[in-house]
Amino acid sequence: MPVAGILQADDQCAQFILSLRRNIYTAYVVLIHSMNGFYFRLSDFVSEYTFPDYTYAENQAGTQMFHNMMKPLEGYPELVIE
């Protein structure tokens, strides 16, 4: 997996990968799951997409759909923007 801090990774199922990852700021090791083929987590970054008042443009429908799928999977269902 092309992700920093991964100590070990294995298939959880056909859709997800379980990983042991070292947090680069705290040095704690955490267990995370990621969708197979998506080697980043939205929650690892600060972006405008997590602001409660963010409005997706019309040409961002695919991006919004992807974000609305990923946010609950990462433990943040309250960040889904309809």
Q: In terms of residue numbers, what domain contains 2? A: 1-39
- Mean pLDDT rounded to a whole number for the chain: 84
**How many structural domains does the chain have?**
2
Residue 80 amino acid letter: V
CA gap 71, 53 in Å, rounded: 16
Asked whether residue 73 falls in the same domain as residue 61, the answer is yes
Convert the pLDDT of each residue in 2-42 to its tens digit.
Answer: 577 888 989 888 888 888 988 878 889 988 888 887 767 77
**What pLDDT is attached to residue 57?**
93
Asked whether residue 66 falls in the same domain as residue 35, the answer is no
Asked whether residue 12 falls in the same domain as residue 31, the answer is yes
Number of H helices, E strands in the chain: 1, 3
Convert the pLDDT of each residue in 31-51 to its tens digit.
Answer: 888 888 776 777 777 888 878
Asked whether residue 30 falls in the same domain as residue 55, the answer is no
Residue 59 pLDDT class (50, 70, 90 cuts)? very high
Asked whether residue 29 falls in the same domain as residue 49, the answer is no
Asked whether residue 51 falls in the same domain as residue 73, the answer is yes
